[in-house]
């Protein structure tokens, strides 16, 4: 516990926070950063007591700005004053994260400078509040589907983040709870490891003290979660329009004197070459923002494109010859299916 700072974003805390911070300090935490995110004025004495503690700093937002902004404020302060430490541990102020579990995350973080450590709860236990159970199960499923990471607890606030990762994390969008989801998405884009450490599942009064808004915050998280896929969908649709335009132009007009096989082959190849150049640019710069080098991404992307072209060509000619399906209709249908598979391949391999 001698190399990590603990960050606690706070809104209208109970007196128990003082004892929690004291317990962390007594267990060897070198620095605690508490962010008062616009708490009620009558609670100022709590923050004054915290600020008076040795190795505890209180930062204050005049108004509530959200958990994401509170974390960014603390990260910036940490990088300015304590960047010699190995990293930070974020913990909630509502008592859900025990001192013992914070220590476990710290131990894991000190041996890991290339990934994020998550303290994950067991949602198969009894007496889990339904809004927490459903929300976490749903986001975990979608995250696994879209980003390929099987994370048991995507919404955990107990996280260990190495110092060398914070400079990228602090730039992410999100002012409230969706910021924590952005961290996980960014970790995927940076090819960081995401390690899980089992922690105690603690809820008080059915989680009534939580400031999480089930509708508003869940909507923000869900939108952020699917934004990447929506960007890919836009990229794919616009690329498809370009591809089909040139395919029809070549197949129906410019190359109509050629045989079916040659006409479809040339039309497919040229149309895909044009649309893929556009698609690569959008996917690399906007959708995936991967960590692979430009050359490596180009090489992998066009290996994938070649495989797609061959697959598309074979499927179109087969269905036209043996099933009598119009080549344009067949191309649209098959390209939709191929595009879904292509998303996962680009996510996990190309970028």
Q: State pLDDT tens for residues 213-271.
A: 666 767 877 888 888 888 888 998 899 899 999 999 999 999 988 998 899 889 988 99
Question: Same domain, yes or no, for 343 and 241?
Answer: yes
d(CA 281, CA 329): 27
Question: Same domain, yes or no, for 204 and 263?
Answer: no
Q: How many residues does the chain have?
A: 351
Domain termination residue (choose one: 184, 214, 244) = 214
Provide the token pair at 296.
């490596």
* Residue 220 is assigned to a structural domain of this protein: no
Domain termination residue (choose one: 173, 191, 214) = 214
How many structural domains does the chain have?
2
Question: Same domain, yes or no, for 155 and 15?
Answer: yes
In the predicted model, is pLDDT for residue 9 greater than 70? yes
pLDDT for the residue numbered 210 = 60
- CA distances (Å), origin 12, targets 91, 93, 133, 178, 346: 15, 9, 25, 20, 44
**Lowest-confidence range among 57-61, 170-174, 274-278, 327-331?**
327-331
Mean pLDDT of the chain: 88
Question: Same domain, yes or no, for 49 and 79?
Answer: yes
Q: What are phi and psi of 72, to 5 degrees?
A: -65, -40
User: 98-124 pLDDT, tens per residue?
Assistant: 999 999 999 999 878 778 999 998 877
Range of the domain at 191: 4-214
Average pLDDT over residues 173-193: 88
pLDDT for the residue numbered 120 = 93
Q: Are 71 and 179 in contact (CB under 8 A)?
A: yes
* Residue 338 is assigned to a structural domain of this protein: yes
Provide the token pair at 312.
């598309």
Q: Which residue has the tokens 């709870």?
A: 177
In the predicted model, is pLDDT for residue 207 greater than 90? no
* Model-wide pTM > 0.85: no
Provide the token pair at 229.
């896929």
d(CA 1, CA 31): 10
* Residue 219 is assigned to a structural domain of this protein: no
User: 128-162 pLDDT, tens per residue?
Assistant: 667 667 777 888 888 888 887 889 889 899 999 99
User: 15-73 pLDDT, tens per residue?
Assistant: 999 999 999 999 999 999 999 999 999 999 999 999 999 999 999 999 999 999 999 99
């Amino acid at each position: 516990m001698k190399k990590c700072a603990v960050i606690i974003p706070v809104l209208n805390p109970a007196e128990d926070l003082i004892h929690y911070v004291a317990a962390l300090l007594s267990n060897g935490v070198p620095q605690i950063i508490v962010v008062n995110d616009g708490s009620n004025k009558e609670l100022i004495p709590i923050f004054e007591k915290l600020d008076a503690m040795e190795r505890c700093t209180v930062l204050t937002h005049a108004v509530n700005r959200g958990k994401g902004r509170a974390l960014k404020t603390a990260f910036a302060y940490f990088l300015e004053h304590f960047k010699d430490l190995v990293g930070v541990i974020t913990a909630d102020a509502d008592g859900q994260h025990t001192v013992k579990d914070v220590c476990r995350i710290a131990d894991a973080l000190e041996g890991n400078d290339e990934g994020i450590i998550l303290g994950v709860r067991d949602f198969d236990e009894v007496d889990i509040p339904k809004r927490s159970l459903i929300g976490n199960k749903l986001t975990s499923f979608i995250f696994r589907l879209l980003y390929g990471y099987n994370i048991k607890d995507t919404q955990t606030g107990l996280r260990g983040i190495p110092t060398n990762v914070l400079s990228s994390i602090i730039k992410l969008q999100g002012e409230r709870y969706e910021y924590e989801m952005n961290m996980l998405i960014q970790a995927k884009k940076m090819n960081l490891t995401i390690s899980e450490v089992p922690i105690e599942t603690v809820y008080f009064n059915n989680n009534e003290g939580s400031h999480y808004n089930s509708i508003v915050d869940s909507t923000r998280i869900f939108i952020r979660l699917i934004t990447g896929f929506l960007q890919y969908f836009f990229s794919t649709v616009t690329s498809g329009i370009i591809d089909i335009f040139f395919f029809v132009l070549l197949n129906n007009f410019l190359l109509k004197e050629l045989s079916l096989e040659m006409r479809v082959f040339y039309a497919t190849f040229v149309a895909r070459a044009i649309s893929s150049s556009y698609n690569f640019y959008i996917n690399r710069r906007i959708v995936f923002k991967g960590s692979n080098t430009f050359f490596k991404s180009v090489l992998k992307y066009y290996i994938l494109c070649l495989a797609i072209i061959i697959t598309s060509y074979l499927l179109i000619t087969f269905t036209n010859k043996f099933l009598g399906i119009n080549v344009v209709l067949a191309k649209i249908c098959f390209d939709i299916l191929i595009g879904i598979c292509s998303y996962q391949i680009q996510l996990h391999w190309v970028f």
